[in-house]
Structure 1
């Protein structure tokens, strides 16, 4: 996409350093829209391309890649025209912007963000010699909403999944972003 060059982050510290202020800005803002790039043929969202979360005229743009790369930007993408798809070989794979109107997401519209949490997941890999590699990897974001729900944007191994949920649920380790005048909250190890 022309002009869209977000920088990936792979750790909680990297995300907070690069985008902490941008994410703190969400607290107190009302979620007014959600858009994604969808296949023109069937309307399904292309999970490897960015999602736009709209907050009264301003946008947070999110994407994910690999096991732990997360991309965050704000008001960098132009969401009105279609992306240039001239270089695509398969017309069924052409994409365009569309609202994400799945019922479980639509009910979140109008809610106000009360907290932002960075998510990590417990990654485990058994290597050929029988050894185990284990690490906490950057997984995404949880936006806690004033209606008692949460919007989760998580890296699902090379895809960004956007779902509704209950705050604090699921197998995630969470680090809540501190607001100005608060201390950074330690990760929740549950």
Structure 2
């Protein structure tokens, strides 16, 4: 059974990639995302990034970019997932990365686990205080099919991470956003 949460043939709830408790809440567009999550994202400012978690495929030794990126700011965990070209799900404190992920028929084919050390550049930000959080909007041209996708960008004293849409999955970018992004600060 694939990625997004669904209902199986017996009308049972199917989890997203076997992640216990996770039910993505898909939103499209900066205004919808800011309305639903702007205040809570803004409230993270001043907190330290204490942990970050990615789902890792232990068989292929690679990041599963379809699964949520977890950023824990001193006990407030934001869970970000992109799909399609412009869908973004932001959930809060619903995933316990200590819980095993049960996905796939045969563990020899796929074995998923949460790792907080999978991306060294991300792990290097642990302990740093969040200075700014922004929504970015891609705006290369009106004919660009990714126009208006919305990443979330977190700025620290010495680096910035942006959880963006990798065109139907997550991507993590470090450093200043590309000039094609318009930046929107979040306010209380």
TM-score (norm 2): 0.80
Aligned twin of 1:158: 168
- Return 5+ residue gaps in structure 2 as ranges: 1-18
The answer to whether the aligner puts 1:177 opposite 2:186 as a matched pair is yes
The residue aligned with 1:144 is 155
1:82-114 CA deviation, whole Å, 9 max, x = no partner?
1122x4357332211111443322322211111
- What is the Cα deviation at residue 123 of structure 1? 5.9
CA shift at 1:14, angstroms? 0.3
Instruction: Spell out, residue by residue over 1:57-103, the C-alpha distance to the aligned partner (whole angstroms, 9 max, x if none).
Output: 33111110010001101101121121122x43573322111114433
- The structure with more radius of gyration: 1
The residue number in structure 2 matching 1:80 is 98
The separation in 2 between residues aligned to 1:135 and 1:162, in whole angstroms, is 16
Question: Does residue 96 of structure 1 match 2:117?
Answer: no
Q: CA deviation at 1:9?
A: 1.0
Between 101-110 and 61-70, report the one with greater CA deviation.
Answer: 101-110
Distance in 1 of aligned mates of 2:102 and 2:118: 24
**Correspondence 1:114 to 2:125:** no
- Count of aligned pairs: 170
CA–CA distance in structure 2, aligned partners of residues 135 and 53 of structure 1: 25
Q: What TM-score do you get using the length of structure 1 for normalisation?
A: 0.80
Asked whether the equivalents of residues 68 and 137 of structure 1 are also in contact (C-alpha less than 8 Å), the reply is: yes
